[in-house]
Chains A and B, each alone.
Chain A
Amino acid sequence: MQRRDFLRVVGAGATVVAVAPSMIGQTLYADNGQLYKAYEKVQLVDGDGNPIKASSLESEKTYVFNYPQVAVPCFLINLGEKAENEVKLKSEDGTEYIWSGAVGKDNSIVAYTAICPHQLTHTNKADSFMSYVPRKAKTMAYTEGGVIICASHLSAFDPKRGANQLSGPAPQPLASIVLEHDKNDHLWAVAVLGQDKFHDYFKSFKSEFKEQFGGKRKAKKLVKISVPTVAITEYTKEVIAY
């Protein structure tokens, strides 16, 4: 490596750490750098605009927020038990990356995009075929609860291990939302880790975006400053889980 290249790499690294402090507290790594995309740091707030406290999240209850774009649904779940650290995941194209994205006092709070990487089934205002199945509940998609499922083709993902795929046709993990937990117990979304499929998603549901957001362009608008985070039963009319 030439000196100029070396300085460039060091400079870029320092910039990343300065812009995204989450890089210090959590190990997030993607070998081509393309599976980690930083977006505007956005605070998670409740329906009244008050910051959400991590300690107030109910165990195993699914909350929904939109990030990084207004039409991208994401799950926020307090798993009620510690998530694993340094989980090695592999995207559909074979790129490997490391997930350690759980935050909170007990390292149990995780966030993932609620878009299935198989055929882009997603949570929207009308219904949600994506859902978290609590540990004591049963699902057709997997042998046990404590998993995120897609009820369209019965894929299951492990939220404790970076939403790695456990069963079904999904070819890769759910993309995860990188969270920051500050000293005031507030939560912030700062980046997306993993192959996100947003491009295909925005191409595939034009009519839905028109109906719910007034068009594809408006649906792609980036979320800024804060984002309402509500229980899935408030966000969507019907949760469909088998």
Chain B
Amino acid sequence: MKKIMTIILMTCALSTGAFAEKQLERISDMKHMADGMGLIMNGLLYNYLDNINAGVKYIQEGVENINKKGELKTYLPADTAYAHKFGEKSLRRIMEYSNELNDAMAAKDYDGALESASLLMRQCNSCHARVRGW
């Protein structure tokens, strides 16, 4: 009995630890992407290309990190885990819009870049609105 209890407690502790670690990773990825969004806004406002490029890089790194961890379902809060398909789609759109932003900047299409940045922001918020229940 003692052994069984120990195993149960150990399993609970490990899974709680793993969940907490995932939570920390998620917060870190989201912060990385938010920093990227800040850099893009700053770069567009001050016409500073390096910031825009860095911002796009941060955002794409964040998306890649989340994708690497696999099933988004396990990564979302339990009460909104059902919305993982929408989260996955949002990640794909974020990649698309950030690529479009890069392309627009390379073509010196500043209006196009502003448009892509606003779509990027909207997509981030679209997912937040869903999973954070705004």
> Which segment, of A3-11, A46-54, A72-80, A203-211, faces chain B?
A203-211
Residues of B within 8 Å of A, CB-based: how many? 15
Interface: B119 (CB within 8 A): yes
> Which segment, of B7-15, B16-24, B44-52, B81-89, faces chain A?
B81-89
Residues of A within 8 Å of B86, CB to CB, are 129, 151-152, 240
The dominant DSSP class at the A interface is loop
Contact across chains for B129 and A153 when beta carbons are under 8 A apart: yes
Contact across chains for A206 and B100 when beta carbons are under 8 A apart: yes
Which of A127, A152, A208, A242 lies in contact with B96, CB distance below 8 A? A208
Interface residues on A, range: 10 to 19
- Residue-wise interface mask of B (89-107) relative to A, using a CB-CB cutoff of 8 A (1 in contact, 0 not): 1000000110110000000
Alpha-carbon distance A204/B86, docked complex (angstroms) = 17
Alpha-carbon distance A127/B97, docked complex (angstroms) = 18
Distance (whole angstroms) from the CB of B92 to the closest CB of chain A? 9
Binding site for A on B (CB under 8 A): 82-83, 85-86, 89, 96-97, 99-100, 115, 119, 122, 126, 129-130
A-B contacts, 16 of them at CB < 8 A, read A119-B122, A127-B85, A127-B89, A129-B85, A151-B86, A152-B126, A153-B126, A153-B129, A204-B119, A207-B96, A207-B97, A207-B99, A208-B96, A240-B85, A240-B86, A242-B83
The 6 A-B pairs with the shortest beta carbon distances in the complex, nearest first, are A207-B96, A240-B85, A119-B126, A152-B86, A242-B82, A153-B130
Binding site for B on A (CB under 8 A): 119, 127, 129, 140, 151-153, 203-204, 206-208, 240, 242
